[in-house]
Structure 1
Amino acid sequence: MNAINTSKPMKRFNISVSILSVSIAILALYLLSTAFYSDTQIDNYYQDNGNFYRVETTFNLPNGEKVRSAKSPLPLIDELKKDERIDRVDYIFKLNTTIELQGRKITKVPVFAVSHEFLNTLSPFKKADNTLGANEIYITKDFNNQYLGLEDPKGKSIILDNETYIIKDILERRHDSSLNMDAIISFKPNLIKDYNREIFNWYDTHAYVFIKFTDKNTTFDKNTLLKNIIATKASNLPGAPFTASEFIHLSLKKLKDIHYQDKLPDEIAIGLSKEVIYSSYIAFAFILFSALTNYYNLTSADSSEKRDIYQLKKALGASTFNIIYDSLPTMLVRMVFSTLIFLLLIITIFNTSLYIKNLFYTLETNTLIYLGIFSILIAFILISLIHCSFSLRFYIYQKNRKMDMRYESTFSAWFRKSSLAIQLLVSGISIYLVTGLANQYIHLVDVYTP
């Protein structure tokens, strides 16, 4: 029969490309679900986070240029605290410090001085005592490995800008927080150079300011509040061709959106721009669609080639269910091989792509495993539906045919085999192109990954 006489190399190529198509489909499903779940979970663990905002600053220069910053002027903090519509104000100062330890001096070490209530509301760490003494410091393992190199850092002292600090504990950063902070201390005015002068300086940025509005006041224009503060509290520069309101513009960004990067030069949150994130969804969805389309074409070609076998089984009394059931072991074996290739692909991408590595870092290990199982299950359901659709199509064809089709002409057999060869060629080229596109896209994203 024609199905039996099909060349073995073509069959092997068909099977290989089918397995690769399913592997890429699982990979696309996994990356798509991981990216979406990460995007929805990051910075979403704070209580009542819909009322939390970060204040950002834009300076409108006389020449028309704009200087943007994730930080705000220092005097804004006290003015915000006075407003009854604001429930709380938290802030972070990024300090480039000098650490002295065991006769070594390490310069330009980033340490973050936080407000006293910061750990109660915005802590980026999993577990931490909410009280932090004036000369105590929290660090992470990464900070210790990079700067200190202590075997057991907890309880030991370090000199930070000529002041002695005790390492209170080693903390672990939350995976679902975008705040990139590896060492924090409690804020003190003497940490800021010329603090008594800077407290009146509206024309520079000093701190990352976070505010939470009261629950009962959510209808007023929040940006107007900031404009009024600048208009009434910020003094004009003598002789300047602009007013404070014209030069200083304050804006609000929701806390759960700070991982969307806006190319701010002093950003402390880890993330990507919305454009890159949403284009990732499109790219992964396109790869998934292409892989399933290839698999559909290959299954169509294989089903056409096995039509004579299906007809023989039908003539011997096999039901449509028997035909579907007989194909299940082959489908399961291919699924196992596809899963193994998927695992190999995801390990390779993780070790070569900074974007994928950062994406995985935002989720717990068990969550990544659950998403992997979910992706494999969805892929299995999709390919099962494809197989069932062809079996049902054969059943409908068998039921509605009006003449005996057990034999076909030489021309029909040649045409069917030629179609099979073309489908295999198109499928192989498509897989090659999609894989190349995915590789180039991930490389492009890595270039813009902070």
Structure 2
Amino acid sequence: MQIYKVGGAVRDRLLGKPVTDIDWVVVGATAEEMLAKGFRPVGSDFPVFLHPKSGEEYALARTERKSGRGYGGFTFHASPEVTLEEDLIRRDLTINAMAEDEQGVLTDPYHGQQDLENRLLRHVSPAFAEDPLRVLRVARFAARYAGLGFRVAPDTLELMRQLSKSGELEALTPERSWKEISRALMEDHPQVFIQVLRDCGALKVLLPEVEALFGVPQPAAHHPEIDSGVHTLSVLEQAALHKQPLSVRWACLLHDLGKGLTPQSEWPQHIAHEHKGLKLIKQVNERFKAPRDCQELALLVGQYHTHGHRALELKPSTLAELLQSFDVYRRPQRFEEFIAACEMDARGRLGLEERAYPQADYLRGAATAARTVAVQPLLEQGFKGPELGEALKRERLKALKAYKEQYSQ
């Protein structure tokens, strides 16, 4: 029995990056031998075991063969005869197909170290094209390592194009797709993830609503970058630079989908794109079964982001409706995330990345002013039921009028 550290742990150590998760491969062992040593079995598809003390995952060396469509369409074979090289060749990228033994000796049969040095994301073998999930994974690695100068190797990008055309991407489950998309959006350069998907033709399969934004012009006065798709990538880039949470990044990706529906005769104007985009945002949310907080924020940002930009011009009554739409009295954090998404939208414009966004503090102040209206005095005045709700609305509106007057002075 020989035990090797494999995959990401080896790659990240060679890159000088912190190693968080460690995967181990066991060569020359049977499941019975693992159980005899106290390892606990997990996973039904192939033999994976948890170490009795560390809890880390140890997998028996295995081969795999394509047997159906999609990510799950594989049969696995694990036995003591499977070699380390056979186990490594089934992996996606050469930089993930290296192993280290317990003395730290590197096994690198597919030249992963060389590709690390050349900053290349290259497939290990032609079998890469059998697994559609790898399109998303490679795009995610491109987003993770873009800051180090990594790029997708041309021959790997070609295989990704073939996969995108094959119909295999449609076989991915919403859960698997969302797992990769959400992880990619949280990388340092999520815009690279979207760009790589576009380069290989996967974006028009997975997110045709985002693909449709490219080539659609916007008014140069507000959008010096002109192109709606380029703007979306820039907004995503700003969200990552400002360390925004996943819900904000998802909303940033989807906020302008309505612009893809504008008739060409109306370009570069996009009248009512906020409202038109809601059905598209809803369909993307449902396609990937995005978590509820991501779904809700994306819809609210899509509908109200221009309100955010025009915050200083809004009438107190419109401001009151906006706060009510966000349920700001019970869910203040969601409104804070809306403000963040609006600010990223304002900064995601060519040459305007550092521009001040006074709307953010103005909206926060408005929310505070409305929230400070106390219910108790109204109860003491005898208001109850629907009447209490109306009285509360009136008092909040008064508070917002006072806030706006004070701000204008």
TM-score (norm 2): 0.23
Q: Which has the larger radius of gyration?
A: 1
TM-score (norm 1): 0.22
Which structure shows the bigger proportion of residues in strand conformation?
Answer: 1
